[in-house]
């Protein structure tokens, strides 16, 4: 199958979060299954032409959005160590910036124009490259406009009409909401500023446009697929999602087993693998030294995250006094909300013997924390999939998580039964509260004293299979269905006037 990924970030070229990991790893798994996968993304400042061996394949490609015409180029590279082509839309006024979506914590004011130009460039440049996809796989609000154009104005375009569209929601909290005056920047007919289209409470909602128009929708874990149909987690779009529940599938993210492998990881002080974990103790000592923490034999807990409300920093800071009274050390790596930066910096100064805080994006340190920590804390308010808990298990680091979204789907709580069955992999708590978080950490501290029990948890985690292979097969099934839906949409109604199962909401792919 020929599959085009349109994504706003892709590892190793540009990354702010899990979307980039998925867009970098899933194509490799699809290619291993024999599919012809290609990607297209914006060329940000970080995408260095020399470093990635990029070649210009399209010059002076004009894209008109609203009142402006932007001239783009398209460069071609490869996902490193693979033959997978990646096309980069080069439009320096819009993308030659350090941030992907923000500058110093504030969204760029021209984000709608930026991702509308990118989406238009996808739709107008791909037909010029001598290759026709059968499916376009888009991701989050930034590329939702691709689905909106293919679902509506371009639905009978000769090049695109039979191409299935799939939209993956990586995080429903980011919807691309813009004032109604910006409508001309979408390049969509005004009639689509409506309840059936992109209008949402009087504003433009980019993600809603994708949710309403894509042939199929996926999200990144089965539990999150259910949760987003509820008011608690649906971020206002629960009704839209419930109305498309038959088109919505939850597929758990995998992890890149080469990028996250303690046996080969170049960032680590020592290597280890299932059955031979001695190197993990060396990584722990190296982490304590690097973080200027005393080399005590206590439970070292890692946290790596965007510092956003979603990630549970508020209940963590509420619990901090009680946490710091326990025999533990905590290493935090994160960037995000400046208010959390200030709070964490103040806490690090107060508890310098037990808490170290690194306020930056640092991939090597992320690997060192995953390897050097004994446990990994994710007290998320909501978590579509979460990758770090899976990286942690692969690195023999025991996750402590809240039972929500993908965390609920991947971590099995320690209990007498799960221990007996050998399925326990971590500590799971229910309530979104400082107290529940604290109790879970206390359970981990107690288990850490029991060498045999802790060893069993480490081993069970390292044996989990979170590879992309299974999920990639699930995506292929979704792609196939999207193509048949698209074909059914286009076929004429039967002579008796009744519809033939081609309506966008009709086929049986359910997230219930």
* Residue 422 to residue 448: CA distance in whole angstroms: 17
* Distance from C-alpha of 235 to C-alpha of 170, rounded to nearest angstrom: 13
Q: What string marks each residue from 374 to 403 as x (binds ligand ADP by CB under 6 A) or -?
A: -----------xxxx---------------
CA angle (33, 410, 397) in 5-degree steps: 105
Q: With CB under 6 A as the contact rule, which of the stretches 15-23, 122-130, 228-236, 456-464 interacts with ligand ADP?
A: 15-23
Pick one of 6, 14, 21, 408: the residue that binds ligand ADP (CB under 6 A).
Answer: 21
How many Å apart are CA 342 and CA 105, to the nearest integer? 13
Strand partners, 156: none
User: By rule CB under 6 A, what count of residues binds ligand ADP?
Assistant: 18
23 is a site residue for ligand ADP (CB under 6 A): no
333 is a contact residue toward ligand ADP (CB under 6 A): yes
Does residue 17 interact with ligand ADP by CB under 6 A?
yes
Buried b (16+ CB within 10 A) or exposed e, 10-37: bbebbbbbbbbbbbbbbbbbbbeeebbb
Of 120, 335, 410, 471, which lies in the binding site for ligand ADP, with binding defined by CB under 6 A? 335
CA distance 428 to 441: 10
Residue with CB nearest ligand ADP?
A: 18
User: In the set 77, 164, 262, 334, which binds ligand ADP (CB under 6 A)?
Assistant: 334
Would you give the binding string for ligand ADP spanning residues 354-373, x where CB under 6 A is met? -------xxx--x-------
Q: What is the 3-state secondary structure (H, E, C) of 266-322?
A: CCCCCCCECCECHHHHHHHHHHHHHCCCCCCCCEEEEEEEEECHHHCHHHHHHCHHH
CB atoms within 10 A of CB 359: 18
Select 334 or 379, whichever has its Cβ closest to ligand ADP. 334
- Min. distance of Cβ 306 from ligand ADP in angstroms? 5
Return the number of the residue (372 or 386) whose C-beta is nearest ligand ADP.
Answer: 386
CB-wise, 38 or 311, nearer to ligand ADP? Answer: 311
Q: Torsions phi, psi of 74, nearest 5?
A: -120, 125
Give the C-alpha separation, 399 to 278, whole Å.
20
User: Residue 265 in contact with residue 271, Cβ under 8 Å?
Assistant: yes
What residues numbered 275-304 form the site for ligand ADP, per CB under 6 A? 304
Binding mask 43-72 for ligand ADP (x = CB under 6 A): ------------------------------
Site for ligand ADP, residues 158 to 177, rule: CB under 6 A: 171
Contact call for residue 14 and ligand ADP (CB under 6 A): no
Options 306, 343, 394, 402; binder of ligand ADP; rule CB under 6 A: 306
- Interacting residue with ligand ADP among 18, 209, 262, 379 (CB under 6 A): 18
Q: In the bound complex, what is the minimum distance in angstroms from residue 336's beta carbon to ligand ADP?
A: 8
Give the torsion through C-alpha atoms of 60, 64, 67, 71, to 10 deg.
-20
One residue of 168, 205, 305, 356 binding ligand ADP per CB under 6 A:
305
Nearer of residues 151 and 176 to ligand ADP, judged by Cβ = 176
Chain-centroid distance of CA 279 in Å reads 30
Q: Is the Cβ of residue 111 or residue 134 nearer to ligand ADP in the bound state?
A: 111
| 3-state secondary structure at position 90 | strand
What are residue 336's phi and psi, to 5 degrees? Answer: 155, -130
Q: And the tokens for 27?
A: 């194509």
Chain residues binding ligand ADP by CB under 6 A are 17-18, 21, 171, 304-306, 333-335, 361-363, 366, 385-388
């Amino acid at each position: 199958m020929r599959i085009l990924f349109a994504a706003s970030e892709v590892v190793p070229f540009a990354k702010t979060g899990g979307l980039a990991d998925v867009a970098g790893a899933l194509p490799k798994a699809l290619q291993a299954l024999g599919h012809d996968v290609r990607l297209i993304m914006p060329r940000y400042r970080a995408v260095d032409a020399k470093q990635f061996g990029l070649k210009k394949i399209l010059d002076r490609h004009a894209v008109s959005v609203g009142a402006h015409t932007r001239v783009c180029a398209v460069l071609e590279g490869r996902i490193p160590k693979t033959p997978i082509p990646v096309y980069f839309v080069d439009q320096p006024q819009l993308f030659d910036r350090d941030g992907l979506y923000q500058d110093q914590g504030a969204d760029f004011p021209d984000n709608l124009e930026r991702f509308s130009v990118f989406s238009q460039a996808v739709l107008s440049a791909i037909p010029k490259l001598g290759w026709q996809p059968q499916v376009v796989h888009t991701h989050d609000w930034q590329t939702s406009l691709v689905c909106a154009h293919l679902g509506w104005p371009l639905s009978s375009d000769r090049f695109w009409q039979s191409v299935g569209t799939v939209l993956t929601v990586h995080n429903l909290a980011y919807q691309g909401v813009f004032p109604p005056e910006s409508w001309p920047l979408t390049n969509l007919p005004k009639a689509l500023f409506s309840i059936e289209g992109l209008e949402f409470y009087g504003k433009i909602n980019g993600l809603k446009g994708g949710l309403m128009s894509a042939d199929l929708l996926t999200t990144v874990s089965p539990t999150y697929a259910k949760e987003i149909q509820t008011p608690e987690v649906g971020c206002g779009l629960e009704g839209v999602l419930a109305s498309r529940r038959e088109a919505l599938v939850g597929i758990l993210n995998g992890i890149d087993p080469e990028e996250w492998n303690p046996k080969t990881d170049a960032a680590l002080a020592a290597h280890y693998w299932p059955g031979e974990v001695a190197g993990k103790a060396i990584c722990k000592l190296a982490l304590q030294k690097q973080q200027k923490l005393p080399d005590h034999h206590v439970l070292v807990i890692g946290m790596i995250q965007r510092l956003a409300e979603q990630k549970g920093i508020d209940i963590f800071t509420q619990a901090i006094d009680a946490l710091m009274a326990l025999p533990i050390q905590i290493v935090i790596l994160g960037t995000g909300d400046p208010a959390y930066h200030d709070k964490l910096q103040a806490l690090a100064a107060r508890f310098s013997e037990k808490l170290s805080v690194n306020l930056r994006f640092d991939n090597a340190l992320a690997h060192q924390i995953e390897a050097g920590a004994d446990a990994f804390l994710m007290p998320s308010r909501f978590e579509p999939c979460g990758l770090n808990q899976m990286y942690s298990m692969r690195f023999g680091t025991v996750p402590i998580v809240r039972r929500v979204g993908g965390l609920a789907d991947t971590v099995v709580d320690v209990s007498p039964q799960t221990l007996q069955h050998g399925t326990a992999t971590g500590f799971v708590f229910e309530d979104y509260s400082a107290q529940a978080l604290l109790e879970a950490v206390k359970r981990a501290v107690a288990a850490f004293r029991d060498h045999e029990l802790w060893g069993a948890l480490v081993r069970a985690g390292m044996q989990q299979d979170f590879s992309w292979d299974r999920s990639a097969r699930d995506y292929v099934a979704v792609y196939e269905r999207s193509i048949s839906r698209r074909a059914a949409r286009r076929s004429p109604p039967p002579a008796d006037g009744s519809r033939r199962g081609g309506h966008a909401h009709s086929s049986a792919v359910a997230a219930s």
